[in-house]
Amino acid sequence: MLVAAGILIAALLIPLIRMINAAPAVVSHAGGVLNVSIGQVDGRLIAVSAGRDATVRIWDLITKRQIGDFAAEELDGLPLSGRERAIFAVAFGELNGRPVIVSGGWDATIRIWDPLTAKQIGDPLTGHERSVVSVAFGQVNGRPVVVSASNDATIRVWDLTTRKQIGKPLGDRSGLIASVVVTELNGRPIIVSGGRDGTVRIWDLQTGKQIGEPFTGHESNVVSVAVGQVNGRPVIVSGGWDATIRIWDPLTAKQIGDPLTGNERAGSPAAISVVNGRPVIVSGGVDNTIRLWDLADRKQIGEPLAGHDRAVTALTVTQLNGRPVAVSGSDDQTLRMWDLTTRQQLGEPLRGHIATTTPTTTNQDN
């Protein structure tokens, strides 16, 4: 059984945190949104977004109000500017029964934040040599861990309790890794990674060993991976710069059917939800749209969802009042919520990240 435990990604540096409980529904991010993750804080459904403006912003998805942010102020006592401020990845998790946010960014560090106290927890986790582009939560022998992927072409596993790296880095440094997700396969905790060499790989989270050969088929970088089930069997979904979405059987290491095409140009962030009892892929593209695909018959469902003015660069799914919804982030500096059943946008965009000259999420480097 394949059970997703985490989806990509990021924030960095010393926090300046403002809790804005009375903030208006539209409070702008100051640049493109690079990643979004969803979790629960004190019973409230919360989204956390990371952006090029060096902030991680916290949103109440019921009221659609920003309720706080972490802003990067300095690195090693020096002001931050331009690309070194970018936050690429964020993820929600739990540590000792309390919610935590993990982030990774241009400064090659991983930082842990307590959203209840608005404090960074301890010092940053260091070891990566280049920017951290994806983070995910998991467990090893009952202990909470964070898995991080970096432009140094490694995956690292960190014990959240001891704040130490577990074992040696995964990967042979032969190709950059763009995305990681933690899940289970046949009862074993695994990491699924997407790489800039166009491959999808599976790693044993306990041993750190690669399982089987890489999945090949993409003609360019794999920028997102997601996991789900079809007819009781586990599947992996990958989105690539070749403008395709591919579905894989991790048990046979084979691609299922032909690639899904439709999102024009470049990479597609992808997530998996259930709509009207059927598994559905939700994907975003550089054509500014979001598309829904039936995961079983591999056909697009209806017309694309339109609303963003620029590329869709971040995507996640959740349940809101018992209904499946997607939360998307874009280079237009907004987050938008979508009812996946009615295929309608929910309310006004959430704004907060400010434009900078940082490169796009599909071109992260350090």
Residue by residue, DSSP assigns 58-126 as EEETTTTEEEEEEEE-EETTEE--GGGG-EEEEEEEEETTEEEEEEEETTS-EEEEETTTTEE-SSPB-
- Residue 17 structure tokens: 């945190």
- Residue 72 structure tokens: 């990067």
At 190, the amino acid letter reads I
How far is residue 3's CA from residue 181's CA, in Å, rounded to a whole number? Answer: 10
List of the chain residues with pLDDT < 50:
1-28, 73-83, 355-366
Q: What is the pLDDT of residue 306?
A: 94
Residues 223, 263 contacting (CB under 8 angstroms): no
Name the pTM for this structure: 0.84
Name residues whose C-beta falls within 8 Å of residue 351's C-beta, 6 or more positions apart in sequence.
26, 27, 28, 29, 333, 334, 335
At 276, the amino acid letter reads N
How far is residue 326's CA from residue 305's CA, in Å, rounded to a whole number? Answer: 11
How far is residue 120's CA from residue 113's CA, in Å, rounded to a whole number? Answer: 4
Q: What is the pLDDT of residue 50?
A: 87
pLDDT single digits (tens) 218-271: 998 899 999 999 989 999 999 988 889 999 999 998 999 999 987 665 566 899
- Which residues, in sequence order, are bridge partners of residue 137? 146
Q: Which of 114, 102, 196 is nearest to 157 (CA)?
A: 102
How far is residue 47's CA from residue 61's CA, in Å, rounded to a whole number? Answer: 7
Angle at 222 between CA 220 and CA 228, to 5 degrees: 140
At 53, the amino acid letter reads D
115-123 CB contacts, 8 Å cutoff, 24+ apart: 115/41, 115/46, 115/48, 115/58, 115/68, 116/41, 116/42, 118/15, 118/17, 118/19, 118/68, 119/15, 119/17, 120/14, 120/15, 120/70, 121/95, 122/163, 123/163
Task: Give the three-class secondary structure for 57.
Answer: strand
How far is residue 273's CA from residue 280's CA, in Å, rounded to a whole number? Answer: 5
Q: What single DSSP character describes residue 363?
A: G
Residues 19, 67 contacting (CB under 8 angstroms): yes
How far is residue 111's CA from residue 104's CA, in Å, rounded to a whole number? Answer: 7
How far is residue 257's CA from residue 82's CA, in Å, rounded to a whole number? Answer: 42
Q: What is the pLDDT of residue 128?
A: 95
Count of beta carbons in the 10 Å neighbourhood of residue 207: 11
Task: Give the three-class secondary structure for 47.
Answer: strand
Q: Burial of 24 by CB count in 10 Å (0-12 exposed, 13-18 middle, 19+ buried)?
A: exposed
Domains contained in the chain, CATH given: 15-359 (2.130.10.10)
| Helix count and strand count (H, E) for the chain | 0, 34
Q: What is the pLDDT of residue 266?
A: 54
How far is residue 225's CA from residue 36's CA, in Å, rounded to a whole number? Answer: 14
How far is residue 252's CA from residue 236's CA, in Å, rounded to a whole number? Answer: 12
